[in-house]
Structure 1
Amino acid sequence: MTQRQFATIAARAGIAQDTAHEAVTPPLYLTTTYRLKALGQAGPYDYSRSNNPTRDLLAEALAELEGGSKAIVTNTGMSACVLALQLLTPEDTLVIPHDCYGGSYRLFTNLAERKRSFKLEIINFQQPDWQQRIQAIKPAMIWLETPSNPLLQITDIKAACVLAKQLSALVVVDNTFLSPLLQQPLALGADIVVHSTTKYINGHSDVVAGALICADQTLGDELKWWANCLGITGGAFDAYLTLRGLRTLLPRMQQHQRNAEQVVAYLQQQPLVSKVYYPGLVDHPGHAIARQQQQGFGAMLSFDLAVEPAQLPVFLDALQCFTLAQSLGGIESLICHPGSMTHASMSAEAQQVAGIGPTLLRLSVGIEAIDDLLADLDAAFQQLAASVNTNASDAADHKPGTTAASPSSDHADSAECRLNPALTALW
């Protein structure tokens, strides 16, 4: 059979492959262990930490979608990152982007500083001298995240891979924001692709899992050995649910993107938005490279509110369709305050260097009706505008020596928001 297209690979992941009863939908193998035919005659499966039929179906589908030789399914996205780092020694240097996901940043910096697992260099890939800096460092591994989380900055994968080959370095690309539908880093020269399959690949916010896909079979075999050794392979039930989610990745992503484009257009017209971060905008610094290496601009975007940080709860509390929550990539729309949520593990200085401001908000645009999403945002902006105008009026009326007015309902709402643990870092 000729090479299959993406829609077919995803829709038929695991379909009609059951060898026991010819089931169209593959069964869920929850067993932990397997009967051996005889002493010394082990089959392909003996213990589910090592191999599991349900997990293997997912791994095969992900490898085919990314154009890789081998995929390893892990129990979280972070464990997929940990797995890739097993290729480094304490004498090796890892290069990471200055604006990567906060959980990844925490992992890299603590393994380097507290465990001395490797040497670490943090590079701004948006600076014109990034290649010269990497050449001087001579790393063993270059870690890319493009588009970056949460500022959607773009890194030239092909250029990084060309440089890496000259330095005999491995290139790992976190492809979580786009999924294999919209970007295939291995085809651009990368050695390893990492996913939090919790996000778009599963797509329903009911599984925490990850995956790592290797271009080279030998490298994949080594990392699979480490996954079994460390005990970080994914569970069968999680793999089953992820397979089910994967089959609808194409239509989901199409709707995600259609909605995101209209949300971006709406935010650009908002006077209370100072900046929108989305690679699909022609004035985005990475737009040209994104067009070259991506098959779409995705459904993740961020924006800065042009208000004081104290006004954030007014806007967030008014939203009904955009849920304030961690994570991304599910069918539901989410909003996140990176500074206090996804990137809270980064120091204030590191956040400032990365460009994560106090009023930066990140949207994961879902597949709801676009009219409802825009109406939700519009109501929140109207509430925010009213609050800003009220505060400005109060400030103008208040003079030294006068008694301050009693708290308004807006202030009471803000006080209630302060009890939310997810927002404590705002104050």
Structure 2
Amino acid sequence: MSTITAEALSATTLLRFATAGSVDDGKSTLVGRLLHDSKSVLVDQLEAVERASASRGQEAPDLALLTDGLRAEREQGITIDVAYRYFATPRRRFILADTPGHVQYTRNMVTGASTAELTVVLVDARNGVVEQTRRHAAIAALLRVPHVVLAVNKMDLVGYEERVFAAIAEEFTAYATELGVPEVTAIPISALAGDNVVDASPRTDWYGGPTVLEHLETVPVSHDLAHCHARLPVQYVIRPQTAELPDYRGYAGQIASGTFRVGEEVTVLPSGRTSRIAGIDLLGEPVDVAWTTQSVTVLLADDVDVSRGDLIVPSKDAPATTQDVEATVCHVADQPLTVGHRVLLKHGTRTVKAIVKDIPSRLTLADLSLHPHPGTLAANDIGRVKIRTAEPLPVDSYADSRRTGSFILIDPADGTTLTAGMVGESFAAPEPVTEADDDGWDF
């Protein structure tokens, strides 16, 4: 196994990516091949896979077992849960989310791709683009994943025919472009045989592009959120009230985006009260500046009422607060979402009561047309919704911030996640909507 020094590792960039595709398209095998051929698998892990494969009567190691860790996954031969894997090459570090392909587990694909900078969509070369392929492309577009790789798998089963690959690549690229996906890179592969996964294949001499790993190592990554709108969702109020710190009152949380500095004037939302940052504690030590993904405690110069769920932002760059949220959503629960549905809306660290005011449209995956006013969204449907919240929320557009422009809807009865929403996103302008009657609302 190759070794990477700590110095080299610290100098590499990080790429978060997810895999997606239909059942049996070979996602877990691709991930296993990627880990195996890049020498990112420990010896004891490989030995365990070899033993498990031999017990099932397989001559060669089943590399899909490197990610399908649940007993139900191994018994059924499908991926159910999102499997996260961490590996590195001398050129880049990776966080990989291997997501399920079964339509029943589309909700897990939404989870895995929500923080990804790249999505690998697998297609079985024998079947081409199917409905689940189109659904995954739509979700990648909706989540604004900047890079999409189309991996046309099982090329060995179609004789490595260039025309088969070209037809699938053309159909998928046209569909993804219409969705607004900014970049599609198509690669012909055989995950089982290892063609064009890590090493270039002599069996596809008509293909002159990169292998999957080469593309992952070289694709531009621009996830520097330090220069975005500064947002700090308050997770916890810290008051130790000790003899050493009798007046300490800090507001702790993970910076969602942007940079905060001592002395900066800030506003606490949704109350709108203003103050100045008197101090920032990071890992128990005072610092002058802190930025995205750092978990910090902010101290304010004034005695301002701040609690969990509030949002601290620079006063010069504060988002508007609203009780009317319009968004594109992916409904992930078996229970349908209907007009008049009472839900909980979780935005950042804040959870408020809300009601579904209207469902203006539902996306038809086959031709990307909008079905107007469907009245309901079933599991895996993508559509537009209008929501009225019981309290004002400081929301950004999802185009400006994937963290503070997103939310989830929760069933207040049992805590089930119903819907993942992106504020302001849409594939096309929705139909004009007549305002729903407000009678009977509690807020």
Given the two structures, how large is their TM-score scaled by the length of structure 2?
A: 0.26
Larger helix fraction of residues: 1
Tell me which of the two structures has the higher relative contact order, counting C-alpha pairs closer than 8 angstroms and 6 or more residues apart.
Answer: 1
